[in-house]
Amino acid sequence: MDDLLNYSLGNDPLTSFKEWFDAASLVEQNAPAMSVATYDHEHHRPMARVLLYKGLQNDCLTFYTNYLSHKSKDLDHNPEVCLNFYWHVSGRQVRVQGKVSKMSHSDSEKYFHSRDRDSQIASYISTQSSAIADKQALMDKFEQTKNAFEGKPVPCPEHWGGYLVKPYEFEFFLYGANRINDRFLYQLKNNKWEVTRLQP
Ligand SMILES: Cc1cc2nc3c(=O)[nH]c(=O)nc-3n(C[C@H](O)[C@H](O)[C@H](O)COP(=O)(O)O)c2cc1C
C-alpha cells in the first residue's frame, strides 16, 4: 500500500510494531503493558487483563505468568489470544491476534532469575487466581520462603513461565483529526502479510 510509509509502517507488521513500541516507550508514562484477552471456555465469555509485554522472541510477542492462573487455564483449552496495546500520548493502538505456545522452561528460568529476588519469591509462593483467606497468610508464606532460600537461588517453579504469541493479524490505529482515524489491517495469508486500509 503506497501511503504506509506516512505512518511509519512497512510491509512487515512485526518490524512496524517494534518501531511503534520503541517510539511509544520514549514518551508514554505507563509500564510497557498490554491487555490480553482469552476465551473462558467454562463460562463461554471473554476475559481480559493487563500484562507486561516482554518483547519479541523468534517473531513472537512474549509475556510471563503463572501456568495455573485463570488465563493459563483458558489458554490450555483455547490457545487463541487477542493482545491490545494503547498509547495515550501517541494516540495509537495496536491490536494483535495470535496463537500461544509455552516457552521452554530454560528460557523461562533465564527471565525468572533476571527479576529482583522479592518478585521471584512472590511468584514462587503464589497460586495465581486461586482464592485466599487473608493477606497475612500470604505474607507469612513470603517471609518463610524468603528465609528458607537465604543465600540460595530461588528455583523457577515448573508452573511459572513465558508464552510466545505467534501473530497472524495486526491492526494499527492512529487517532486522526475529526475522528477520521487511520487503521491498517495486516493479515497473514499463505505466509504473506496482506494490508488493507479500514474505515475509521
Ligand atoms: C501494569 C500491570 C502489569 C501486570 N503484569 C503482569 C504480568 O506480567 N504477569 C502476570 O501474570 N500478571 C500481571 N499483572 C496482573 C494481571 O493483570 C492479572 O491480575 C493476573 O495475571 C491474574 O490474571 P488471571 O486471573 O486472568 O489469570 C499485571 C497487572 C498490571 C496492572
What DSSP string runs through 32-90?
SEEEEEEEETTTTEEEEEEEE---EETTEEEEEEETTSHHHHHHHH--EEEEEEEETTT
Catalytic residue among 45, 179, 183, 197: 179
As a whole number, mean pLDDT of residues 29-51 equals 96
The average confidence (pLDDT) of the chain is 96
Task: With respect to residue 17, please indicate whether it lies within any of the assigned structural domains.
Answer: yes
Task: With respect to residue 139, please indicate whether it lies within any of the assigned structural domains.
Answer: no
Q: Which residue has the cell 510471563?
A: 64
Q: How far is the CA of 29 from the centre of ligand 1 (A)?
A: 18
Task: With respect to residue 123, please indicate whether it lies within any of the assigned structural domains.
Answer: no
User: By residue range, what is the domain housing residue 58?
Assistant: 4-108+158-198
pLDDT on residue 30: 87
Whether 33 shows a pLDDT value over 90: the answer reads yes
Q: How far is the CA of 120 from the centre of ligand 1 (A)?
A: 15
Whether 1 shows a pLDDT value over 90: the answer reads no
Task: With respect to residue 25, please indicate whether it lies within any of the assigned structural domains.
Answer: yes
Question: Which amino acid is present at 89?
Answer: V
Task: With respect to residue 104, please indicate whether it lies within any of the assigned structural domains.
Answer: yes
The reply to whether the predicted model has a pTM over 0.85 is yes
- The verdict on whether 49 is a catalytic residue reads no
pLDDT on residue 7: 87
Closest ligand 1 atom to Cα of 69: 27
pLDDT on residue 196: 96
Q: For 94, which DSSP code?
A: E
Task: With respect to residue 114, please indicate whether it lies within any of the assigned structural domains.
Answer: no
State the total domains in the chain.
Answer: 1
Q: 169 is written with which cell numbers? A: 493479524
Closest ligand 1 atom to Cα of 129: 25
pLDDT on residue 4: 87
Task: With respect to residue 27, please indicate whether it lies within any of the assigned structural domains.
Answer: yes
pLDDT on residue 3: 84
- Mutate which of 28, 38, 43, 51 for ligand 1 pocket (most atoms within 8 A of beta carbon): 51
Q: How far is the CA of 198 from the centre of ligand 1 (A)?
A: 31
Q: For 179, which DSSP code?
A: G
Per residue in 108-154, pLDDT (tens digit) is: 999 999 999 999 999 999 999 999 989 999 999 999 999 999 999 99
Q: Which residues line ligand 1 at a C-beta cut-off of 6 Å?
A: 31, 33, 47, 49-52, 63-66, 69-71, 128-129
* CATH number where 102 lies: 2.30.110.10
pLDDT on residue 6: 86
Task: With respect to residue 173, please indicate whether it lies within any of the assigned structural domains.
Answer: yes
First and final C-alpha spacing in the chain: 17
